[in-house]
Amino acid sequence: MPNYKIIIAYDGTNFCGWQVQRHKAQDKRRRSIQEVIEEALRKIAHKEIKLTCSGRTDAGVHAQGQVANFNLDLKIPLSGLKAALNSLLPDEITVLKISRAKDNFHSRFSAKSKAYRYTILNSRQRDSFSKNFVCFCDYPLDLALMRKEARALLGRYDFSGFCASAGKKKNPLKNIKRISVKKQGDRIYIDIEADGFLYNMVRNIVGTLIEVGRGKFPPGSIKNILARGDRRLAGPTAPAQGLMLLRVDY
């Protein structure tokens, strides 16, 4: 059956993440990105379609270039499928592109690297219009210190010290290819590209860099966390809403 690659953008604010989950407090299902798109595909194809994505995003996390793939005997042009999907999806989810992929293409296992951006609003005053897309920090941050510590993350290391306990079973060795800390106006952007990420790895790195910028962590803290692999030594997990999956490279 033909294999198709789909690129998706979404605002994750009102979703439980990519994958279907259960809301334990109320014992009822919350919407996931995956189930909403699969439901739209089912209406078009009149059968169940399984989406496989490059990597699950958590509740509140956004994507500018999430990638998934699915198998389908397509009876309409790709342009027609894209238009039909977008007509059925809520405003928060947009299909950017659909293309035929090789039979062995797998959105997760074929990926060479992923790039994330974390956005911090560094201002004395919050912004009500961007609150779902930034982490608000109303205290000064020393970007020079943050950049210096961030450079220690470049390369292939055991990132256990930046991994939430739920992800401890995965291979902790990851290669961070690029990392930058830059400021434009009152926004600080932390961009990270790696061959893979552990659970909450980006948000734990950002939370640690924020503590560095506040002067709470001394120079050399990143190297120490990497060497010791102890999550307790790192900073708090940064809020989900500041995180965006920018792209996946193959």
Pair 105, 69: CB distance under 8 Å: yes
CA distance 20 to 39: 12
3 state DSSP class of 190:
strand
Task: Characterize 58-86 residue by residue with b for buried, 16 or more Cβ atoms within 10 angstroms of its Cβ, and e for exposed.
Answer: bbbbbbbbbbbbbeeebeeeeeebbebbe
CA distance 85 to 94: 9
Cβ burial, residue 198 (10 Å; 0-12/13-18/19+): buried
* Catalytic residue selected from 58, 158, 191, 195: 58
CA distance 63 to 8: 7
CA distance 135 to 119: 6
> Nearest 5 degrees, angle CA 180-CA 10-CA 94?
125
Whether 58 is catalytic: yes
Active-site residue list? 58
